[in-house]
Amino acid sequence: MANRVALVTGGTGGIGTEICKALANMGCRVAASWLAGVDDGETWQQNMQAAGYNFAIPEGNVADFEATAKMVKAVEEKLGPIEILVNCAGMTKDGFLHKMSKEQWDIVIRTDLDSVFNVTRQVINGMRDRNFGRIINISSVNGQKGQIGQTNYSAAKAGMHGFTMALAQESARKGITVNTVSPGYIATNMVAAMGEKIIKDMIAQIPVGRLGTPEEIARVVTFLAADESGFITGANIAINGGMHMG
């Protein structure tokens, strides 16, 4: 993995940050995408630099195809061809379907699923030309089992693994692996903001009796991204503490 170029979409988030750090620790040159008005990429970059990490921070809306083309071009001009792609960008807009607006549906599908096509489409030809690539899609346990109030999110995350399996078959003979990682409930700032009662209820559903950590997700991502992981493709690796076993 030494010196390979990696792009992590949603890289400034809780899970994304740990993935960026883990890839950098393995010797990769890492770019973390972020979205103005939603994230504070500059402050994040400064904090990472203080911790000893030098990440590129391309800004761009991964839900927009043309914006992703510009973002990928900027990364490749700065760091070189993208060899590892981690599709980690995502969001939720929860609500029961009978109350869900078209806007709630559309924004989650665009951000969580369309983005996977938008970004991957920009890098797949280069990976095919070079006969090497690692694509890792960060899905969710709720894409495997469903979740009340998340028809939009569950559909997007389930669709992500369908994308993984199809592209894995298309790309296998070109040295490109495509895999899904499906985290369960992870201890991020977003989860912490839900409050002690909700977190307690979450933990009650998890056989190992705790939330997962972003570092545990990152560990699996670096394993899949390694040159030595070329025989693993089309897989969906669940990291949920035994909450759901498929």
Domains identified in the chain, total number: 1
Query: Given pLDDT bands bounded at 50, 70 and 90, which one contains residue 246?
Result: confident
Name residue 29's beta-bridge partners: 5
Active-site annotation, residues = 153
Contact, 218 vs 22, CB < 8 A?
A: yes
Domain residues for the domain of 229 are 5-239
Q: Is residue 219 part of a domain?
A: yes
Q: What is the pLDDT of residues 110-165, one digit of tens each?
A: 999 999 999 999 999 999 999 999 999 999 999 999 999 999 999 999 999 999 99
Tokens at 232, concatenated? 């693993």
pLDDT at res. 58:
96
Q: Which two tokens stand for residue 186?
A: 């992870």
Q: Helices (DSSP H) in the chain: which residue ranges?
A: 14-25, 41-50, 65-79, 102-109, 115-130, 141-145, 151-171, 189-192, 196-204, 214-225
Residue 116 sits at the vertex; the CA angle it makes with 113 and 35, to the nearest 5 degrees, is 90
246 in any annotated domain: no
Bridge partner residues of 84 (DSSP): 6, 134
In the sheet that holds 29-32, the strands lie side by side as 29-32, 5-9, 84-87, 133-138, 176-183, 236-239
CA atoms within 13 A on the CB side of 104: 16
| Dist. CA 55–CA 175, nearest whole Å | 26
User: Over the stretch 64-90, which tens digit does the pLDDT of each residue have?
Assistant: 999 999 999 999 999 999 999 999 999
Q: Does the residue 63 lie in any domain?
A: yes
In terms of pTM, does the model score above 0.85?
Answer: yes
- Residue 210 belongs to a domain with what CATH number? 3.40.50.720
Residue 244 lies in a domain: no
* 98 assigned to some structural domain: yes
- In this predicted structure, the answer to whether residue 190 has a pLDDT above a threshold of 80 is no
